[in-house]
Structure 1
Amino acid sequence: MKDNGSSRRATMLRHVTLAATTALIIGSFDGLWAARGSVYSPLLLAGLGAGTLAVTGAFVGLLQAALLFLVEPIVKRCGLRRRWQAAMSSDAKGDRRPVVAFHAWVASAVVVSTPLLLGFAALLKRSERIKEVALRDAVLVMGAAGALITVLVVSAMVRPIFESACKRLDGSWGLPRPRSQLLRYVLFVAVPAGLLLVPMFTEFGVKLGILAAPFALALFFAAEGLLWRLTQTLARKRREPGGRSGALLVRSWTGLLVVAVVISIALFEIWPQASAAIAAGRVTPSAAAWLQRITDVDRDGVSSLFGGGDCAAFDASRAPTLAEIPNNRIDEDCDGFDATAAQVLPELAPYYGQLSGSQKKRYNVLLLVVDSLRPDHLSAYGYNKRTSPYIDELAKDAWLFTRAYSQSSTTALSMPSMLSGRRPSTMQWKGGYPEAISSEQMLPEVLGQEGYDTRLAVNRYVVRHLKGLQRDFQQVVSVPEGADWKSGDYIISNVVSAVEDAKRSGRPFFITAHFDDVHHPYRAHRGKSVPSFPSLQRDISAYDRCIANFDNMLRFLGSYLEQAEVWNDTIVILTADHGEEFEEHGGTIHSRTCYVESVQVPLIVRIPGFEPQRISSRVALTDLVPTLIEALSLPADRFPVDGQSLFIPALAPGTAPADRPIFCSVFQLMSGRKNFFIRSVRTEKHALIYESLSERIELYDVVADPRESRNIASSNPDIVEDLRRLLGASATGNLWEARRFQ
């Protein structure tokens, strides 16, 4: 007779082997899925996915075995195994009450849960509008808990109805049916779980939010149970499970699992494209990310295994996300060599330095930021639909920059960058929803110290989330509850009030107004008198109408500024915090990529006394702060800016560096999205987009391919390497650590 220790070891080995095998099968199919439409071998990806998931499954099996050891005494004490056997009894002469009661409960639960599942699916769909991760997760958890409680309560109420039906079925056919345990499991567990959960994942995927993990585990356990029933059936058909052939089979299969795991780890080590290759999978990328987290020994945010790329597993001062220090004989960023001084960022002169005394004064400043506004949907930028007649008029009296880029495709990073003149990748951030630390110098704080009346006019979403953006303004004014995403009228009213207050106080003003009227869900135009702009994509049509609606509101504001006699003393800047996606690269909305449609923004700057012109030099939103420092004659030594004054491309275009690199950073901020961390660098000829978690690299020739549709990274390794070094040199802040708030 085996001792207790041997029995426990056998149980643990069985659970680990079973869970790893189940995960291996899932990983194989996931690898084949990832290979669809890719250039990689399906067999190679199937092996990579199988080994990666097998490791994850082994961990799950260990947890299963440990949980079983903990609950086993409770199961024995409560007689749960005996009750289950009674409910599954096929003895027609025995007590049939447990059999009838159990089947009645199952039938009533299935009937009650079906409409509730449809309702929960509707809740999932509507909850996509909730942008705060914690709030959306709370809504989903409460919805799932409410559905579960409802199933239990209502099932108990209607079970007597089903008991009579199940009693008749038991008398006629004899329950349980079918007699085969394997077939019963397939019909009543595996198939329902697949029909309920697989479509849920197919439809919503990571949009399940906090429920994705428990739903995935439920589906995994259903598959694992099916595999267990299948092996038990096969074992009974051969010989008793404890025989030597059974033990040999278990050991042999365990050895094959170990081989698969070793091959997977080796592929991640020797194949640089491994992480990028599996990125299209549904399960493997998340499993690899989880394995990277638990194998990150030095806690620097990067593992040396499973594609993490850490070249020093026990040294937190060396990782692919760290900035390289030139000529110190240390490879900080794990690119294989130490950088030289020539590999750091090219020096960028921040100021023009030749403005006359009459050209510099204490102007008022009105910074108008339109969330998600793309320049190629404005008629001033050549759009073939007249969406923005007033903006067209404004542009004729201002500097219009045809190639301006934001430093992120999410407001949370773009706005602090815009108001500090620094790239997100060079700034220091707090954990949690990204917020610049207090020592990061912001323009409104300095203007307040210089005697300006500083105001921020925003919607309630910004008030709730962008705390760091608000702290440097003397006053923050918002809109009524429920007005978000159509609040332009209130924002305009708040701007007018701020101008009037500044006039009464005799102080110059700095007003930043952040408009949400062009933001998804593109409904601000409803009920307004704006033209229609037909399009094959309904969202684009609504988006254009929202732009036209905003343009009407902006005309009113412009008329007011002229009548209030502040127009000729006010610098007016119209721009956006980022662009918007309409499936150019498969995505929609924003906050997820650094492609051109997500980062190219309109930039119209009117400074009294300067001649209007169209300027084709590439510029960044980090250029606004040095421009205002020069125009307002502020102390330049207080701002360690990354940008360059717009006076240089406007007044001395020959001195503006043609191949200036412009950077973008964005990471996962929204609920229901895969984890990602994307950085990009743009030069005159190329754009490199790098996803740090999967190490996916894309390179585009922006001259020949301005829409960035043809990835030429594989055929241009030297250009990729040069641009990656620029990316590494630009990452001197702590954005990598800050993004781990989630």
Structure 2
Amino acid sequence: MRIVYIDIDSLRPKHIGIHGYHRQTTPNIDRIARQGVRFSRAYCASSPCVPSRASFASGLFGIHSGVVTHWGPGCDYRQFNTEERPMFVRLLREHGYHMTTFSSFADRHDAFWYMAGWNEVHTHTLKKGDEDADEVIGAALPWLEMHGKEDNYFLHLQLWDPHRNYTMPRRYQELFRDEPAPAWPDEEAIVTHQDSYAPFSAAMLFPGRGRSPVDTMPDRIRNRDDFKKFADAYDGAIRFMDEQLGRVFDTLERLGVMDETAIVISGDHGEAMGEHGVYGDHVCADEAVHHIPMIVKWPGSAQNVERRELVYNVDLQATICDLAGVPVPKGWDGRSFAGAIADGGAYMPREYLVWDHGLYSVGRSVRTDEWLMMRTYHPGVVPLEPLELYHVATDPYLTRNIAADRPEVIERLDHYLQQWHHEQVGHPFSKPDPLLLVVETGPFKYIKKDGWARHLREAGREDLRTIYLNRIGERS
């Protein structure tokens, strides 16, 4: 079996054409989706980049891998290839797959556990994630030309382009000049977002800098015109990346192996586009940050099918093993959904998901078909309430916290959260919850606690500085 795994940073499923987006951002991804199964409600178990890719490496939730933040306490990878919990890459290699990655992830985040098990690691530049898609694909295509017809390989291609800053050629942004931006956030929402003290918010789009470092992006989001420029840049980055992926798909077609090659398209986390007042980043355990793309084209799979079951990114590793005939390890947290990919296959869906975030804030959330409950244990630099509840079916952008109005829903979702936590740590030899370490030490990584207070004062927002300090238990 040939497997090509495409790992896209910060790609919102809502901005993929086949999911109903009104702009032509992803014609090449769409053509693969029409040949396979797309999961429109897939989510990462831990965000952002480092915790999510620890799940890729381990097949585990962050509470078990030990990685729930980007460095320091709560970022101690603790599952090195035991028999019960083998690392995903090593497991496939042990079963005869030639494992090759084109990724600068380990270099960017000093996450050297990511390197374990690969036959080949290609970092292609020293830009540590600031390379564009043409650099990644330009390095990968010669490998594909040489090895594409071989059997039993796993080719991993990691692309950063939808992650800010959006540095694609300007002509891709111009493709959307005459097309309307997404309808939300509207002018009213953008006005309210001016009073958020969060980094990457409308008034503080580039923390500590004040101005955009690239001409494709506005300095701040003051109105719908600014938002359109921002959305055009994000969509332009997606379109540029998608065009580069088209070169991969065309090569597989030309080599005559496309029909016999499995293609998996997914990502590490999503990207906020106004949710919780944040634009173009990932700061909390909400829907926008955790919603990820997931498309699987497998030889013999159903074609052009959408599945709406709730699935995790850690389920994808178990599914790939299952489809490839590799026994799924009993100690993994992932649950195979191979039955949802096989034409007419059966699959037992999850009733709910629990996910967490530990970088700019610390929290865990529960997602059901209709509801999202967010419990924030440390707000960090984000203006979050300790308890938030959203009816996602009618409020997809999380604009109305109705926790106080629906105590019966809170009780039910809280039960799910506690039940999940007991299942993870309530057995012999379980290790402490690493998220508690981030709560204890604070989620002040890229942005420091006192430094952010100074920034708010220097920006002339003493009102927001006071709110921020009160929220984190400090005094102005």
TM-score above 0.5, yes or no: yes
Is the 2:275–2:398 contact (alpha carbons within 8 Å) kept by the matching residues of 1?
no
Pair 1:631 & 2:315 matched:
no
What are structure 2's unaligned runs of at least 5 residues? Answer: 182-224, 380-384, 425-430, 446-476
Partner of 2:244: 553
1:385 pairs, out of 11, 23, 35, with: 23
1:605 deviation in Å? 0.6
What are structure 1's unaligned runs of at least 5 residues? Answer: 1-362
TM-score normalised according to structure 1 size: 0.47
1:678 pairs, out of 363, 374, 377, with: 363
1:483 deviation in Å? 7.5
2:268 pairs, out of 555, 564, 577, with: 577
Partner of 1:102: none
Distance 1:655 1:396, change over 3 A: closer
Partner of 1:370: 8
List aligned pairs for 1:251-650, cutoff 5 A.
Answer: 363-429=1-67, 434-437=75-78, 438-439=80-81, 441-459=86-104, 462-482=107-127, 484-500=129-145, 502=147, 506=150, 508-526=152-170, 531-533=175-177, 535=181, 536=225, 537=227, 538-612=229-303, 613-636=305-328, 638-650=329-341
Is the 2:7–2:265 contact (alpha carbons within 8 Å) kept by the matching residues of 1?
yes
- Partner deviation per Cα, 1:675-721 (whole Å, 9 max, x = no partner): x3111110112111111136701111222323222212112223223
Is the 1:410–1:590 contact (alpha carbons within 8 Å) kept by the matching residues of 2?
no
Identical counterparts, % of pairs: 24
Amino acid at match of 2:420: S
1:420 deviation in Å? 2.8
- Partner deviation per Cα, 1:451-481 (whole Å, 9 max, x = no partner): 2111221136745432222223232211323
1:729 deviation in Å? 3.5
Is the 1:441–1:639 contact (alpha carbons within 8 Å) kept by the matching residues of 2?
no
SS at match of 2:415: helix
Give the paired residue count. Answer: 371
1:727 pairs, out of 402, 412, 417, with: 417
Is the 1:463–1:478 contact (alpha carbons within 8 Å) kept by the matching residues of 2?
no
Is the 1:364–1:509 contact (alpha carbons within 8 Å) kept by the matching residues of 2?
yes
1:442 deviation in Å? 1.9
Distance 1:706 1:528, change over 3 A: closer
Is the 2:53–2:268 contact (alpha carbons within 8 Å) kept by the matching residues of 1?
yes
Pair 1:711 & 2:372 matched:
no
List aligned pairs for 1:63-82, cutoff 5 A.
Answer: none
TM-score normalised according to structure 2 size: 0.71
- Partner deviation per Cα, 1:527-585 (whole Å, 9 max, x = no partner): 66972345431221100111111111011110111222332232101112111112221
Distance 1:433 1:641, change over 3 A: closer
Query: Using the alignment, how far apart are the partners of 2:114 and 2:437 within structure 1?
Result: 16
Amino acid at match of 1:514: Q
Distance 1:708 1:529, change over 3 A: closer
Amino acid at match of 1:710: R
1:666 deviation in Å? 1.0
Query: Using the alignment, how far apart are the partners of 1:539 and 1:392 within structure 2?
Result: 23
2:374 pairs, out of 659, 684, 689, with: 689
SS at match of 1:585: helix
Q: Which has the higher helix share?
A: 1
SS at match of 1:635: coil
- Partner deviation per Cα, 1:604-646 (whole Å, 9 max, x = no partner): 110012221122222221211121121111122x342223222
Query: Using the alignment, how far apart are the partners of 2:273 and 2:148 within structure 1?
Result: 42
List aligned pairs for 1:14-413, cutoff 5 A.
Answer: 363-413=1-51
Distance 1:463 1:584, change over 3 A: closer
Partner of 2:435: 736
SS at match of 2:164: coil
Is the 1:444–1:510 contact (alpha carbons within 8 Å) kept by the matching residues of 2?
no
1:598 deviation in Å? 1.3
Is the 1:366–1:572 contact (alpha carbons within 8 Å) kept by the matching residues of 2?
yes
Query: RMSD of aligned C-alpha atoms?
Result: 2.7
Partner of 2:461: none
Amino acid at match of 1:367: Y
Say which is worse superposed, 397-406 or 474-483, in terms of deviation.
474-483
Is the 2:11–2:271 contact (alpha carbons within 8 Å) kept by the matching residues of 1?
yes
Query: Using the alignment, how far apart are the partners of 1:721 and 1:563 within structure 2?
Result: 56
1:433 deviation in Å? 7.5
With a CA cutoff of 8 Å and minimum separation of 6, indicate the structure with the bigger relative contact order.
2
Is the 2:263–2:298 contact (alpha carbons within 8 Å) kept by the matching residues of 1?
yes
